[in-house]
Amino acid sequence: MLGFVSGDREAYHFLADQFGAMMDELNRRRDECIQLRTLLATRSRGVAHIANESYGGDPNILNEDGELEMAYKTQKDLNKWVTIAAGHVTNCLNEN
């Protein structure tokens, strides 16, 4: 079995350091995604509570001018965008 040559050791340590840095970055981004999802869920619940207080819980008043449908479509588009962005980040991390 052949031993490491000096240049091989340096290359090995360089690659190991790079791998460690990439794993740290992956973990940081994973934690960031979890925090962002938690924040989004918390804000969504907060907005629902504000709407309920503002309109007294009467869905007919809330949707009399179509704002409920517009809010739903906006939230749906935002969720789609966040999912796509998270997918791109995941793909980039998996490629590196």
Task: Tell me the two tokens of residue 95.
Answer: 């490629």
- 37 lies in some domain: yes
**Which of residues 5 and 1 earns the better pLDDT score?**
5
pLDDT tens digits, one per residue of 62-88: 566 777 788 888 999 999 999 888 888
**Which of residues 51 and 14 earns the better pLDDT score?**
14
- 9 lies in some domain: no
pTM of the model: 0.42
CA distance 15 to 12: 5
CA distance 9 to 3: 10
DSSP secondary-structure letter at 57? T
Q: What are the DSSP E strand ranges found in 1-96? A: none
- 3 lies in some domain: no
What per-residue confidence (pLDDT) applies to 39? Answer: 84
Average confidence score pLDDT of the chain = 80
Contact (CB, 8 A) for 33 and 86: yes
Contact (CB, 8 A) for 34 and 28: no
- 59 lies in some domain: yes
**Residue whose token pair is 């969504």:** 44
Phi-psi sector, 66: left (phi>0), alpha (psi -120 to 50), beta = left
Number of domains in the chain: 1
- 70 lies in some domain: yes
Whether 1 has a pLDDT exceeding 50, the answer reads: no
**Which of residues 3 and 29 earns the better pLDDT score?**
29
- 5 lies in some domain: no
Nearest to 51 by CA among 61, 38, 41: 61
The whole-number average pLDDT for the span 40-44 is 77
Range of the domain at 83: 17-95
- 33 lies in some domain: yes
- 1 lies in some domain: no
